[in-house]
Chains A and B, each alone.
Chain A
Amino acid sequence: RKEVEQDPGPFNVPEGATVAFNCTYSNSASQSFFWYRQDCRKEPKLLMSVYSSGNEDGRFTAQLNRASQYISLLIRDSKLSDSATYLCVVNTPNDYKLSFGAGTTVTVRA
């Protein structure tokens, strides 16, 4: 079983729509969680960290559910510029390694 699993999508949504997707992780002892954004053929960039209480950054909301071992990302009022692959990243306890999911592709259309 992979450490981090994501629905690859693609999620095709119109501008202005809300899109949400989840990521599951296998190690219940994982401590830190992140969403990275990766544009086509570019490097990943940190979008936001995910805190236990959930957190919001503008149109982006991240939630953590430790009991079910998943994190989610919700994008409100989608923009064309939100089109990207969103990588779920989980910290591996003890060795501080980050484990990356394969990514969820979002395409926002005009």
Chain B
Amino acid sequence: EAEVAQSPRYKITEKSQAVAFWCDPISGHATLYWYRQILGQGPELLVQFQDESVVDDSQLPKDRFSAERLKGVDSTLKIQPAELGDSAMYLCASSLAWVAGNNEQFFGPGTRLTVL
């Protein structure tokens, strides 16, 4: 069964350092999402791509976060500099299409970030 791949699975860093997460969506999925999930809360969308274009990054803290999907396939999420409040699970998801009512999202295993 096709899966969304993410790496690393765990990342520990010190505040003010830079971190990067990678995601490879299910083959053929045009839409890719990055979510942040803080313990005890639901996932919160950070950025959504349709192919290589950003369609929604309204919740992305752009002063420190950046995301790209250069060839419309895999994607990288970067944080620079990391802050203590960034400690969370970062989930990548993909879906076949960006269609209301028919956009089941498949999630990767996530990257658990701890900022010390």
Contact = CB atoms under 8 A, between A and B. Distances in A.
A1 interface: no
Interface in A1-39: 4, 8, 31-32, 34
Contacts of B42: 4, 87, 100-103
A46 interface: yes
Given A91-B101, A93-B100, A95-B56, A102 B107 contact: no
A46 B104 contact: yes
A6 to B, nearest CB: 8
- Residue of B102, B105, B106 with most partner-chain A CB within 10 A: B105
B14 interface: no
A73 B44 CA distance: 22
Interface of B: 40-45, 48, 56, 91, 98-110, 112
A46 B112 CA distance: 21
A56 to B, nearest CB: 19
**For chain B, what secondary structure do more than half of its interface residues adopt (helix, strand, loop), or is it mixed?**
loop
Contacts of A42: 109-110
Please provide the 7 A-B residue pairs with the shortest distance between their CB atoms, ordered closest to farther.
Answer: A100-B42, A43-B107, A32-B101, A96-B100, A102-B42, A100-B43, A102-B41
Given A97-B48, A101-B42, A45 B101 contact: no
Interface residues of A, number: 23
B109 A96 contact: no
B105 A98 contact: yes
A70 to B, nearest CB: 16
A103 to B, nearest CB: 6
A44 to B, nearest CB: 5
A43 B99 contact: no
